[in-house]
Amino acid sequence: MVPGTDATGESAAADELDRLADEMFRRQLSWSPLYASQIGYAEYAPELPDLSVEGTRRRQAELANLRDRAAAIDESLLDDERRITVAVLRRKVADGLLAIEAAASDYTVTPIPQTGAAAQIIVSVPHSLVRTKEDARSYLERCAKVPTLLEDAAERLRLGRAAGRRPVRRLVVNAVDQLTAYLSAPLAADPLLGVPDPDGEASPAWRDKLAAVIGDEVRPALAGYRDVLVAEVLPDARPDEQPGIAHLPGGTELYGQLAAGHTTTDHTIDELHQLGLDLVRELIEEMRERGERVFGTSDLAEITGRLRTDPALFFGSSEEVAAAARDALARAEAALPAYIGRLPRVGCQVVPMGPHEVENGDLGHYQWPALDGSRPGTYWINTYQPHTRPRFEAQTLAFHESVPGHHTQIALQYELSELCDFRRHAHVTAYTEGWALYTERLADELGLYTDEVHRLGMVSFDFWRACRLVVDTGLHARGWTRDQAVGYMLDHSALTHKNIENEVDRYIGWPGQALGYMVGRLEIRRLRAEAERELGSGFSIRDFHDAVLGHGNLPLTVLGEVIERWTSTQI
């Protein structure tokens, strides 16, 4: 018991926090119904996100209420784990309010589902779970609501335009091209119609109804949304010379808030930019050393040029791309128990991305498993134009997206039954992406890279994330053009030109998110170094990793407190 308190007060504070955490979790599910249904909450399966102004106002009021109630909780009355919970709760409520203030729907159009309304329909909705007749009915309802979502998305863009908040032209063009490719394909090939039906519960009659909804409602709505983009949004969209959020009213201040939210630190924009520059200088030396071993030259331009142009370093088929990912995943799964004690029970699969996602999509990404184990975690890999996919990056990418990266952390978090539902599903960019980036180097400690060429890929990926600190802050705070950002990454990574363009466009459409990767990785490395120094021969890498992973997603400040407490118990 805390001195000066009584058990009744402690119990009341704990009960109120538990109620708030559960309420926040349930509201998050309702705000993100695609995520909710994909992990197994069937009651959200008929729903789509609410982009309307009225829905946003309701969400803001709900978050403000949660914020005030969370602020009133006396932390001194809570045990250690609940103190973590209240810290995470306050952070996530603040993040939610900031997202509403940022109003990205008013000025963001992209071809990726995280930030594009139409892309979310084309890419994310087909990932819905359809296993029973009830699931099938819910999926029909969800598809029938697509026109409303797109009407709201178009209205938000009109509101943004009226307020001087305009999307970036190139990203709008990419989204239009994606929609054009989607609409030019026959109905029979529509990804929404190809939703998995593993148990055969959905009848042929249901398939006919679904085809009618997609053909008569969804596709016309997507065509109408494309027309809005072409006729209303493109004419006065921002050019490549003004891609940053600083070119929007209030954008400079907003970017500072977004950077703090994604990194969960108080680093200034200038500090983040300089951190990136410093890391790039360090990595240049490592790339030169490793390049000397592999190619017999320490000239950075020659090394990156060879990595970008040598045909032997690229894949010959889409099947080879997927096979390399599966091989890396299998070897990582076999080696990991020596370095992490508590591992997820659910497995991870490698699946090529669909055709409507690949051209302007990322290299790969992870999708969480269903809570009941009916669907494993999924590493979605881009196998489009395999001759542009470098072999030397494949292992690093697989370790980041699957094991020991995202799958190990996210799937395990779902299985931490000692945590409340809110904590098991919390997401903090700097933690999630910091861990995945940390594991790219951890994989080298495990001996998972098969040769020095693949270790060059590891360093190249480090370059990529260090460049993000420079480029993201350059774009959104320093007035960089798109060409400046692309040029900087061409000079300081071995990514191909197309991948760099896709990455830069992602940073333009998602301000601040890219900062969390390297900031999170550096903090985990710092905490590990401190623990190793304090514990000496008593340091256990398995126990350290279990401590990092054992509390779910945490803001970096909270993670630091957790590891400091853990270290003190090991002495």
Residue of 518, 542, 539 lying closest to 530 (CA atoms): 539
Tell me what pLDDT residue 197 has. 63
Specify the range with the lowest mean pLDDT, choosing from 247-261, 309-323, 358-372.
Answer: 358-372
Tell me what pLDDT residue 455 has. 96
pTM of the model: 0.94
Residue 552: burial class (beta carbons within 10 Å; 0-12, 13-18, 19+): buried
Specify the range with the lowest mean pLDDT, choosing from 58-67, 155-164, 373-382, 540-549.
Answer: 373-382
The residue to which tokens 């020095």 are assigned: 452
- pLDDT grade for 265, boundaries at 50, 70 and 90: very high
Q: Which helix (H) or strand (E) holds 378?
A: strand 377-381
- pLDDT grade for 8, boundaries at 50, 70 and 90: confident
Tell me what pLDDT residue 4 has. 46
Tell me what pLDDT residue 199 has. 56
Report domain extents, the chain.
Answer: 7-242, 257-522
Does residue 3 have a pLDDT over 50? Answer: no
Does residue 5 have a pLDDT over 60? Answer: no
> By percentage, how much of the chain surpasses pLDDT 90?
88
Does residue 160 have a pLDDT over 70? Answer: yes
Return the number of other C-beta atoms located less than 10 Å from residue 470's C-beta. Answer: 24
Tell me what pLDDT residue 360 has. 72
Q: Is 314 helix (H, G, I), strand (E, B) or coil?
A: strand
User: Mind giving me the DSSP string for 340-373?
Assistant: -SS--SS-EEEEEPPTTTSTTS-SEEEEPPPTTS
Specify the range with the lowest mean pLDDT, choosing from 59-73, 199-213, 419-433.
Answer: 199-213
Tell me what pLDDT residue 1 has. 41
- pLDDT grade for 338, boundaries at 50, 70 and 90: very high
Phi and psi angles of residue 244, each rounded to the nearest 5 degrees, phi first: -80, 155
CA distance linking residue 427 with residue 386, whole number of Å = 32
Does residue 554 have a pLDDT over 60? Answer: yes
Between 267 and 10, the more confident residue is 267
Q: Compute the mean pLDDT over every residue in the chain, rounded to the nearest whole number.
A: 94
Q: What is the mean pLDDT of residues 292-298?
A: 96
Tell me what pLDDT residue 196 has. 67
Does residue 353 have a pLDDT over 70? Answer: yes
Tell me what pLDDT residue 7 has. 65
pLDDT in tens, 460-483: 999 999 999 999 999 999 999 999
pLDDT in tens, 480-493: 999 999 999 999 88
Does residue 428 have a pLDDT over 50? Answer: yes
Q: Is 390 helix (H, G, I), strand (E, B) or coil?
A: strand
In the 8-state DSSP scheme, what is residue 446? T
Q: What size, in residues, is the chain?
A: 571
CB 255 within 8 A of CB 269: yes
